[in-house]
């Protein structure tokens, strides 16, 4: 089943939830990559800093239509997701990835049939130490995201909701 939605329509229909803090709009700082300009799913979260070992390990698991939220500390010094991880995410059924940090291999990412949002592009890969946390509450551009929150993304923005809104 294909679900068509608009983040603008979701905001208009849920102004009460915005006022109550149950629906948040991330600041408009994210660039879009991948073939899917519109995607949604429940959040899985990671907190890493300039280290993408946990990103790879998570994307190697079945995504089941989830959206991976990667809190990379807004670092602009290296990429946390590249073309290989984009292919892996597509292969394993992830709906999309939102990176509070950088990605690389933009041409390869744009060939993947998932949606990706990130702060910027950076050609350098991350270190690989395996340091980070998963399935915890993270903060992305000032907005708290918990595992299981619903994430809605289209060309107009990124929304985080405490409940399913479609």
- pLDDT for 166 equals 81
DSSP notation for 110-137: HTSSSEEEEEEE-SSBPB-----EESS-
Res 1 pLDDT > 90: no
Supply 73's token pair.
């500390």
- pLDDT for 45 equals 98
The tens digit of pLDDT for each residue in 132-150 reads 999 999 999 899 999 999 9
Mean pLDDT score of the chain = 97
> Could you tell me whether strands 67-71 and 96-103 are parallel, antiparallel, or unpaired per DSSP bridges?
parallel
- pLDDT for 152 equals 98
What value does the mean pLDDT take over residues 14-28?
96
What value does the mean pLDDT take over residues 109-115?
98
- Percentage of the residues of the chain whose pLDDT score is greater than 70: 99
What value does the mean pLDDT take over residues 4-32?
96
- Phi first, then psi, for residue 74 (nearest 5°) are 60, 25
Residue 79 parent element (H or E): strand 79-81
pTM: 0.96
> What letter would DSSP give residue 141?
T
Res 125 pLDDT > 90: yes
What is d(CA 103, CA 125) in angstroms, rounded to the nearest whole number?
9
> What letter would DSSP give residue 21?
T
What is d(CA 104, CA 120) in angstroms, rounded to the nearest whole number?
9
Supply 120's token pair.
């910027």
What value does the mean pLDDT take over residues 43-72?
98
What value does the mean pLDDT take over residues 32-60?
98
Supply 129's token pair.
């130490």
- pLDDT for 46 equals 98
CATH, range 7-161: 3.50.30.40
What is d(CA 26, CA 14) in angstroms, rounded to the nearest whole number?
15
- pLDDT for 104 equals 98
């Amino acid at each position: 089943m294909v679900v068509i939605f608009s983040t603008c329509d979701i905001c208009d229909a849920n102004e009460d939830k915005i006022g109550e803090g149950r629906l948040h709009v991330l600041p408009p700082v994210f660039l879009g990559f991948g073939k899917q300009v519109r995607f949604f799913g429940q959040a899985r979260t990671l907190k890493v800093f300039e280290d993408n070992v946990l990103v790879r390990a998570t994307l190697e698991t079945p995504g089941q239509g989830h959206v991976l939220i990667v809190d990379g500390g807004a670092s602009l010094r290296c990429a946390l997701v590249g073309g290989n991880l984009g292919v892996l995410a597509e292969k394993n059924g992830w709906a999309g990835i939102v990176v509070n940090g950088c990605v690389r291999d933009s041409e390869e990412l744009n060939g993947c049939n998932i949606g990706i949002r990130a702060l910027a592009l950076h050609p350098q890969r991350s270190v690989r130490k395996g340091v980070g946390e998963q399935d915890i509450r993270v903060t992305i551009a000032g907005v708290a995201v918990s595992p299981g929150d619903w994430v809605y993304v289209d060309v107009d923005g990124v929304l985080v909701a405490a409940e399913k809104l479609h």
